Structure 1
Amino acid sequence: MLWAQPKKKQLEEKLQRPPTFGFLLDIDGVLVRGHRIIPAAQEAFHKLLNPEGQLRVPVVFVTNAGNILQHGKAQELSALLGFQVEPDQVILSHSPMRLFSQHHERRMLVSGQGPLVENARALGFKSLVTVDELRAAFPVLDMVDLQRRPKTTPLPRNDFPAIEGVLLLGEPVRWETSLQLIMDVLLSDGNPGTGLATAPYPHLPVLASNTDLLWMAEAKMPRFGHGTFLLCLEAIYRKVTGKELRYEGLMGKPSLLTYQYAEGLLRRQAERRGWAAPIRNLYAVGDNPMSDIYGANLFHQYLQTARSVGAEEGARGPWKQQPSTARSCTSILVCTGVYSPEAPESPGPAPGGGAPPFHGHRDFGFSPGLLEAAHVVSDVHEAVQLVLRKEGWAL
Structure 2
Amino acid sequence: MRVLSVFRALHSKTRPPSQPFISRISRAFSNLQLQNGRPSFGIAFDIDGVILRGREPVGGSQFTLKRLYDDCGGGIPESKRAYELGDLLGVNLLPLQIVQGHSPFKELVNRFRDKFIVAVGKGEPAAVMTEYGFKRVVSTDEYESYFNGIDPLSQYKTWGSKQIFSDKYYVRTDKVQAVFVVSDPVDWGRDIQVVCDILRSGGLPGKKNGHQPPLFFAADDLEYQCKICRIHHDSLKYTSFGKPNPAAFKNAETILKQIQSICYPDTESNQLKTIYMIGDNPAVDIKGARQAGHPWFSILTRTGVFKGRENDFNYPADLVGPSVPSLLISLGGPNITFDELIYNHPLLIYIAPTRDLTEQPRSERKMRFLSVFKALQSKSSRSPSQSHPFISKISRAFSNLQPKNESPSFGIAFDIDGVILRGHEPVGGSQLALKRLYDDRGGGIRESKRAYELGELLRVKLLPLQIVQGHSPFKELVHRFGDKFIVAVGKGEPDAVMTEYGFKEVVSMDEYESYFNDIDPLSQYKTWRSKQIFSNKFYARTDKVQAVFIVSDPVDWGRDIQILCDILRSGGLPGTKNGHQPPLFFANDDLEYQGVFPTERLGMGAFRIALESVFNKIHCDSLKYTSFGKPNPVVFKNAEAILKQIQSMYYPDAEGNQLKTIYMIGDNPTVDINGARQAGPPWFSILTRTGVFKGKENDFNYPADLVVDTVEEAVDFILEKGASVSSMICFWVHYSASYVMESSFVYHNEGKKNK
> When the two structures are superposed, what TM-score results if normalisation uses the length of structure 2?
0.38
Partner of 1:222: 600
1:250 matched to 2:635: no
The alpha-carbon distance between structure 1 residues 100 and 342, as it changes in their structure 2 partners (threshold 3 A), is same
1:297 Cα offset (Å): 1.9
Q: Structure 2: state its 5+ residue gaps.
A: 1-403, 527-538, 727-755
| Cα deviation 1:300-344 (Å, max 9, x = unaligned) | 2xxxxxxxxxxxxxxxxxxxxxxxxxx42122111111211269x
State the Cα distance separating 1:245 from its structure 2 match: 2.0
State percent identity of aligned pairs: 30
Q: 2:619 aligns with which of 238, 241, 254?
A: 241
Deviation at 1:137, TM superposition (A): 0.9
CA distance in 1, matches of 2:519, 2:428: 48
Report the Cα distance in structure 2 between the residues aligned to 1:47 and 1:266, rounded to whole angstroms.
Answer: 20
Distance 1:213 1:37, change over 3 A: same
For residues 161-181 of structure 1, the C-alpha deviation after alignment (integer angstroms, 9 at most, x for no partner) is: 221001011221211100010
* Alignment partner, residue 582 of structure 2: 204
> Does 1 or 2 have the higher relative contact order (CA < 8 Å, sep 6+)?
1
Task: Give the corresponding residue for 1:38.
Answer: 427
Aligned to 1:374, which of 691, 705, 708?
A: 705
CA distance in 2, matches of 1:105, 1:257: 28
- 1:299-310 matches, within 5 Å, as 299-300=679-680
Structure 2 match to 1:349: 699
Deviations, residues 321-373 of structure 1 (Å, cap 9, x unaligned): xxxxxx42122111111211269xxxx835xxxxxxxxxxxxxxxxx4xx221
Match of 1:332 among 686, 699, 708: 686
Retained in 1: the 8 A contact 2:409–2:723? no
The 3 A distance-change label for structure 1 pair 243 and 330 is: farther
Distance 1:264 1:158, change over 3 A: closer
**Unmatched 5+ stretches in structure 1:** 1-12, 55-69, 149-156, 301-326, 351-367
Distance 1:90 1:297 in 2: 25
Q: Aligned partners of 2:523 and 2:540: how far apart in 1? A: 26
Q: Which residue of structure 2 lines up, in the alignment, with residue 48 of structure 1? A: 437
Give, in whole Å, the separation in 2 of the partners of 1:339 and 1:26: 13
The Cα offsets for residues 124-154 of structure 1, whole Å up to 9 and x where unpaired, read as 3222122122211112321245647xxxxxx
- Aligned counterpart, 2:567: 185
1:96–1:257 contact (8 Å) kept in structure 2: no
Q: Highest Rg: 1 or 2?
A: 2
Instruction: Pick one of 10, 22, 38 that aligns with 2:411.
Output: 22
In the alignment, residue 162 of structure 1 is paired with which amino acid? K
**Alignment-mate amino acid for residue 263 of structure 1:** E
- 2:491 is aligned, of 94, 104, 113, to 113
Matched, 1:291 2:671: yes
Deviation of 1:90 (Å): 3.3
Q: How does 1:74-113 map to 2 (within 5 A)?
A: 74-101=451-478, 102-113=480-491
Q: C-alpha separation between the residues in 2 aligned to 1:81 and 1:281?
A: 23
Task: Say if 1:35 and 1:114 are closer, same or farther in 2 by CA, change over 3 A.
Answer: same
Does the CA-based 8 Å contact 1:106-1:126 persist in structure 2?
A: yes
Output the CA distance in 1 between the equivalents of 2:620 and 2:449.
42
The one-character-per-residue Cα deviations of 1:156-200 (angstroms, maximum 9, x if unpaired) are: x9953221001011221211100010111111111113223xx42
State the Cα distance separating 1:109 from its structure 2 match. Answer: 1.1
Equivalent position amino acid for 2:554 in 1: P
Tell me what 2:638 maps to.
261
SS in 1 for 2:608: helix
SS of 1:177's equivalent?
helix
Q: How many residues align?
A: 304
**In 1, Cα distance between equivalents of 2:675 and 2:627:** 13
One-letter amino acid of the counterpart of residue 176, structure 1: G
Higher helix share: 1
Structure 1 residue 386 corresponds to structure 2 residue 717: yes
